[in-house]
Amino acid sequence: MNFLEQLVSEWYSYRGYYVRTNVKVGRRGAGGYEGELDVVAFHPETKEIVHVEASIDALSWDKRRKKFARRFELGRRYIPALFSFTKRRPTQVAVFGFPRTTRDRQLLGEDVQVYLMPQLIGEIAEELSQTTVESGVIPETFPLLRAMQFALDYGGCLKAANVQ
C-alpha cells in the first residue's frame, strides 16, 4: 500500500467508515485475480459505499484515463457482491498525488470524483485543525493523521481560539 492509499484509508476509517484495502476481485479459474481495488469503504449509518483509487504516478492523462476506467469498471462489477445487503451503487473517487492543479474536474467522467493531493490534504487539515492534541489527540492507530494533527498544532496552524 502506498502513502496515498494509507492516508485515504485512515481518513475514511477515522470518519467512521469500515475500510478494506487492496481488495482482490475477480478470482480467475486458473489462479490469480482480475484486479485489485485500492480502498473500499462502507459507512454503517449512511450506508454509503466508497471506492477509492489512489495514484502517485506521473503518467499522462490519457494513460491514467485508461488505467482508471478499468479499475472503476472492476469496482462497479465486483463491489455489489462485497455488500450484497444493499443495492447502493458505490461512490467512485480518484485521488492523484500529481499534478497539483487541473482545470478539468471531470477528468475521468461525470461519475468519478477527482481529488488532487492539495485538495485532500486541505480537507483533512481543515478538520484536524479544529482540535488541539491536548483536547483530542488522534488515536495512534492512524499514524499519518496523527502526525498531521501534531504538525498542525505544534506548527502553529491551529486557529487561535482553540489554543489556550
Higher pLDDT, 159 or 135: 135
**Segment 37-51, tens digit of pLDDT:** 999 999 999 999 999
Coil, strand or helix at 2:
coil
Instruction: Compute the distance between CA of residue 127 and CA of residue 125 in angstroms, rounded to an integer.
Output: 5
**Segment 95-144, tens digit of pLDDT:** 998 876 666 656 777 889 998 998 999 999 999 988 889 999 999 999 99
Angle, CA 146 vertex, CA 141 and CA 151 arms, to 5°: 165
Residue 9 contacts residue 39 (beta carbons within 8 Å): yes
* Domain span(s) for CATH 3.40.1350.10 in the chain: 3-118
pLDDT (0 to 100) of residue 94: 94
| Peptide bond preceding 99 in cis form (omega within 30 of 0) | yes
Residue 1, pLDDT > 50, answer: yes
pTM recorded for the entire structure:
0.88
- Say which amino acid occupies 46: T
Return the CATH class of domain 3-118.
Answer: alpha beta
Residue 65 contacts residue 107 (beta carbons within 8 Å): yes
Higher pLDDT, 76 or 110: 76
Other CB atoms within 10 A of residue 86 CB:
11
